[in-house]
Copies of this chain bind each other. A is one copy, B any other.
Amino acid sequence: MGGDLGPRAVFRACEISLAQHPQLFFTIFFTPDALPLLPDQLRSHVRVQLVSDCASIDSDLKPTDILRHKSASLWRAVESVSLGQADACVSGGNTGALMVAGKRLLGMLPGIERPAICQRWPTRKGHTLVLDLGANVDVSPAQLCQFARMASVLSPAEAPSVALLNIGLESNKGGESIRAAAAALSAEPQIHFQGFIEANQLLDGNVDVVVTDGFTGNIALKASEGAALFLIEQLKAAFSGSWYGKLVGQLAKPVLLKWRTRFDPARYNGASFLGLSGQLIKSHGGADAAAFANALSVAIAQAESGFSTALAQHFSNPDSPNPVADPLADQIK
Contacts and interface: CB of A to CB of B under 8 A. Distances in A.
Interface of A: 59-60, 62-63, 96, 124, 134, 137-138, 165, 167, 170, 172, 174-175, 198-203, 214-216, 218-235, 238-239, 241-242, 244-245, 248-249, 251-252, 254-256, 258-259, 262-263
Max chain B CB contacts within 10 Å: which of A232, A249, A252? A252
Given A239-B255, A251-B248, A219 B234 contact: no
A224 to B, nearest CB: 4
B238 A226 contact: no
A58 to B, nearest CB: 10
Copies in the complex: 2
Nearest to A167: B218
A227 B215 contact: no
Contacts of A229: 200
B200 A223 contact: yes
A255 B243 CA distance: 11
B234 A174 contact: no
Contacts of A235: 235, 256, 259
Contacts of A165: 219
Given A239-B255, A259-B238, A199 B175 contact: no
Contact of A219 (B124, B219, B242, B254): B219
Contact of A234 (B60, B226, B254, B259): B259
17 contacts: A59-B170, A60-B170, A63-B172, A137-B175, A138-B175, A167-B214, A167-B215, A200-B223, A202-B226, A219-B219, A224-B226, A225-B227, A227-B227, A238-B258, A239-B255, A244-B255, A251-B252
A131 to B, nearest CB: 14
B222 A219 contact: no
Q: Name A's interface SS.
A: helix
A221 B168 CA distance: 13
A333 to B, nearest CB: 16
A242 B255 CA distance: 9
A225 B200 contact: yes
B223 A167 contact: no
A202 B254 CA distance: 30
A124 B237 CA distance: 11
A262 to B, nearest CB: 5
A138 B245 CA distance: 47
Nearest to A246: B255
A259 B252 CA distance: 15
A283 to B, nearest CB: 16
B227 A256 contact: no
A167 B199 contact: no
Given A198-B222, A258-B238, A259-B235, A227 B203 contact: yes
